[in-house]
Structure 1
Amino acid sequence: MDFSVAASAFTEHLEKVRRLSNATVRAYRSDLRDLGVAVGDAQLHEVDLETLRGWLWRATQRGDARSTLARRAAAARSFFSWAQEQELIDVDPSLRLIAPRRGRTLPTVASQEAMKGLLDAQRAAAESADPIAMRDHGMLELLYGSGIRVSELCGLDVDDVDLDRATARVLGKGSKERVVPFGAPARLALGAYLTRSRPALLARSSTTTSGLFLSTRGARIGSRAVYTLVAEVLSPFVGAETVGPHALRHTAATHLLDGGADLRAVQEILGHASLGTTQIYTHVSAERLTATYRLAHPRA
């Protein structure tokens, strides 16, 4: 079978059968497209281990990050494992394919004092009754208060939020639904937004939408607008130039653990499929504790 035909069938399988997220499918498609260039006119069964090693070596030579190499090796292994299961090939050439280990980098996290300062400033701006300021305040309180992903925030409908119970029903990765709690500040900000801001924004559009958060033109807000907002307001507080909504998710998780939350409870709130993914935040908390000790203890 032609390599490109098999790769297309595989990504369709990921999308329709395994129901992976659009971002994950795009990453697999991109990696396999790059591999297809290295394979050239060879048929699927003609691809061997040396071809795959040469592909990764060339990626190394052009300066691809270790995380990119690891992801591409994983994509190749998943693809050829699937191809063997489908009896498209007899031997899986990727079984002995080894890529550099991903370097562990701890996520960017804002301090509790920084988050208080940021959100206090946003609340003060929202008191002007400006619809955009009220919307931004509601989004930031909800992102930090619940730890949801930016895609989950943008996908929320009005009916997904229960202000009485202070919960939101979100659709996460793999179309998995979960209910997440949020605190009183987020409930107040959302209540004000829904009552006074959202109707004003909706009036700017000729069509209606069920989306919770709306753009300046009255349509469902997109992730790029949220990224722009978070980068603008959060960067000064964390001392990083490139920071996005995920930093608020990291911050929420770390502050939960700092406050004594159970690791498995944090896993449920964040919607992580694996506890190992959540454990990265225990390292963040440990580093913060160590830094505090070294600054404060006379015998540190």
Structure 2
Amino acid sequence: MNLERARGEYLNYLAVERGSSENTIASYGRDLARYVAWLVERGVSDPEDVTRELVEAHIGALVEVGLAPASVEHAVSAIKGFHRFMVTDEICSAFPTSDLPLPAKPSHLPDVISVDDAERLLDQPFPSTPAGLRDHAMLEVLYGCGLRVSELCGLDQRAIQLEDGLLRVFGKGEKERVVPVLGAAAAALEDYLDRGRGALVGRRPTDAVFLNVRGGRISRQSVHATVEKYGRVAGLKGLHPHTLRHSFATHLLEGGADLRVVQELLGHANITTTQLYTHVDRSHIRRVYLAAHPRARE
């Protein structure tokens, strides 16, 4: 049985025995059609003649033409399943993908701003209006507490314990965590609650902390627009709320905070997610090394 016929058998197996969806079968069919055509162009049509080197060369070709990493991973999954099926169904004995790993996904490092940029952003003059006090408090809390936008928008007054310097935050999956609110973030939040929020409250009472001009809970879109606006004034074009969260984590780690503590503050279930924030600059690593290693300066 040649590769093209085996491909048809595999797709039929997915449909009949595995009950795969039409979309899955179609996408696997496209990946395997490209794979089989590539092999046939190189004179390989018998499943027994496919080698590990050929499989890896095909994957390399997909990367070279600029296929997205997720698309390459999907193609590799299809190829691995195809060869496993051929061995299991005794179409061939060659199994070139038996221990072939999925391609590693590139790590997308979070965008961060420097400490100087953060200070320039937060120390700029904010309007002394209710909305201006709110905007200042929002930016300070995003950077000072590492909140997600959804967490900031969902913050209620009963969750604020300024006397203890704490916020109760509900993150993904409604998981509750407690984060410190201290220093400039606490001062800006208290100022807004004392002098700004009351003027924004509408006719319908609400426990929401951050309000829009109509007295309702502020939206994610409004927070994004606010952060971008003040970022532009501070010379930080395209500033995103999540950048402030990333910067919060990175600056804590650069300041010597324990990774586990930062994980808890961010509300990450898995520490591998927090490790994305450990991209401290090399000068910081060098300073820590020089200060800590007993023979670094000899």
Shorter-normalised TM-score: what interval? 0.5 to 0.7
Aligned to 2:113: 110
2:122 is aligned to 119
Where does residue 280 of structure 2 map in the other structure? 285
Cα deviation per residue 1:204-252 (whole Å; 9 max; x = unaligned)?
Answer: xx3121111001211001111111111222357675x544111000000
* Counterpart residue number, 1:191: 190
Q: Which runs of 5+ in 1 are unaligned?
A: 1-41, 74-95, 294-300
Residue identity matched to 2:216: A
Distance 1:176 1:56 in 2: 40
Spell out, residue by residue over 1:257-278, the C-alpha distance to the aligned partner (whole angstroms, 9 max, x if none): 1110000000000000111111
Distance in 1, matches of 2:139 and 2:108, equals 25
* Corresponding residue for residue 19 of structure 2: 46
Matches within 5 A, 1:87-236: 101-121=104-124, 124-126=125-127, 128=128, 130-203=129-202, 206-234=203-231
Q: How far did 1:165 drift?
A: 1.2
Larger radius of gyration: 2
- RMSD between aligned residues: 3.7
Aligned length: 224
Q: 1:46 aligns to what SS in structure 2?
A: coil
> In 2 relative to 1, CA 65–131 (structure 1 residues): closer, same or farther, beyond 3 Å?
farther
1:178 aligns to what SS in structure 2?
A: strand
8 Å Cα contact 1:147/1:270 also seen in 2: yes
Distance 1:97 1:207 in 2: 61
Deviation at 1:100, TM superposition (A): 5.0
Deviation at 1:125, TM superposition (A): 1.6
8 Å CA contact 2:153–2:220 kept in 1: the answer is: yes
Contact 2:201 2:215 in 1 (8 A): yes
- Return closer, same or farther for 1:280/1:234 CA change in 2, 3 Å cut-off: same
Mapped contact 2:145–2:180 kept (Cα < 8 A): yes
1:289 and 1:237 map into 2 onto residues whose CA distance is: 25
The structure 1 segments of at least 4 consecutive aligned residues displaced by more than 6 Å after TM superposition are 55-58, 70-73, 96-99, 290-293
Structure 2: gaps of 5 or more residues: 1-14, 35-61, 76-98, 289-298
TM-score (norm 2): 0.64
Distance in 1 between residues matched to 2:176 and 2:156, nearest whole Å: 13
In the other structure, the counterpart of 1:264 is 260
Tell me the TM-score normalized by structure 1.
Answer: 0.64
Q: Does structure 2 retain, via aligned residues, the 8 Å contact 1:56–1:69?
A: no
Percent identity for Structure 1 against Structure 2: 43
8 Å Cα contact 1:108/1:238 also seen in 2: no
Shift in Å, 1:289? 3.2
Counterpart-to-counterpart distance in 1, 2:216 and 2:260? 36
Q: What's the secondary structure of 1:279's corresponding residue? A: helix
Give the 3 Å change call, closer, same or farther, for CA 145–258 of structure 1 in structure 2: same
Distance of 2:205 and 2:72 partners within structure 1: 44
